[in-house]
Amino acid sequence: MTARILNGNEIREQIYADLRKEIAELKSMGIQPGLAAVLVGNNPASEMYVKSKVAACAELGLFSDMITPPDTIGTAELLALVEQLNQRDEIDGILVQLPLPKQVNSKRILEAVDPAKDVDGFHPVSVGRLVAGQPGLVSCTPAGVMEILRRSGIPVEGANAVVMGRSDIVGKPMALLLMHAHATVTICHSKTKSLPDVVRRADIVVAAMGKAGMVQPDWIKPGATVIDVGTNKLTDAELAARLFASNPRRLEKFREKGFTTCGDVHPDAAQVAGAMTPVPGGVGPLTIAMLMSNTVKAARLRRASRVAQPAAAKG
C-alpha cells in the first residue's frame, strides 16, 4: 500500500479560487482587503517569506503595504508604528515578521496588534476566542491543516488524533481545532512516555516537533492520515542516507546540493499510511493561503458589516 499524497499546492489553488470570488464580492461593495507587512532589518529568510506574502496579495488582488524599518529600531518606535497601522482603516491585517532584533520586546509588539487585524492569530484575544470556540482569526498553519483534511475528505469527527508538538503557533491551536471538529485529541511532546505506542493509536497524526525524520514508519497505524508540518533543513549525510534509502533520486539530489528540506516523518511512512502530506509541497503552501484567507476574513468582519448595516436597517 502506498499513501494517497495530499498535495498542498493543489489545495492552495482551490482556496485561492474561493478567495477570488469573495474578494470580487467585497470589491463590489467598495472594499479592497489590505495587508500590512512589517519587515525589520535585512534577514534574508524573512525577506523571502514577506516577499512571497506580498506577491500572493498581488496575485489575488489584495492591497498590501510593506514597511521596512531599520534593524536599529527600538520597542517604543515599533509600538508607535503598529499603532499607526491599527488606526489605518484600509489595513485589515497586520503581519509583523519574526524574528525581531534582540533589543525589541517581541511579545509587547505582537500584543499591540489590534486583535481585529491579527491575521497571524497570535494575539491572546485570538487564542482566547479559539479556546472558547468563537469566530475569529486562527493561526495560519493549523488552519491550513484543517483545510487539507476537509478538502481531502479525511473524516475528523470521532477520529483519534495525535498532535506531536505543543508550540503556541502550531501544536496548541492544532489540538483545539481538531477538538472543535469532534476528534479525540492527544498532545505529545518531548516528555511523552512510550511515544511510538501513543502515535500508533492515531487515525490522524500531525507531526510538528521540528526534528527531521523522527516519526518512524512502524509508528504509524496502517491506513492512518499523516500530516507532516516539519520543515527541517537537512545537512547530515548519514541521516539523509537513512531517510532516502528507498529514494535514490532524492538522495542523489541531496548529495549534489549538500542539503535538502525534509519533514518530521520518515518518508517511508508513506508505505503504511493511507494518506500523507509531502515535504516540501504539503502543509507549506497552505500557510500563506490561510494568511490571505485571514486578511479577507478580517476585512469582512471589520468593514463589510458596516456596509451591510444600512440595508439591514431599511428591511
Q: Which residues are catalytic?
A: 53, 97, 120
Kindly give, in sequence order, each residue whose CB lies less than 8 Å from that of residue 200, ignoring residues fewer than 6 positions away. 219, 220, 221
Nearest to 205 by CA among 279, 140, 286, 265: 265
* Degrees, nearest 5: CA angle 5-291-101: 115
Task: Provide the H-helix boundaries in 61-194.
Answer: 75-87, 106-112, 124-132, 140-151, 171-180
Residue that has been written with the C-alpha cell 491585517 in this structure? 93
d(CA 32, CA 306): 14
Task: Tell me how many helices (H) and strands (E) the chain has.
Answer: 12, 11
Alpha-carbon distances, residue 311 vs 300, 302, 306 (angstroms): 16, 17, 10
Nearest to 223 by CA among 272, 160, 260: 272
Report the 10 Å Cβ neighbour count for 305. Answer: 10
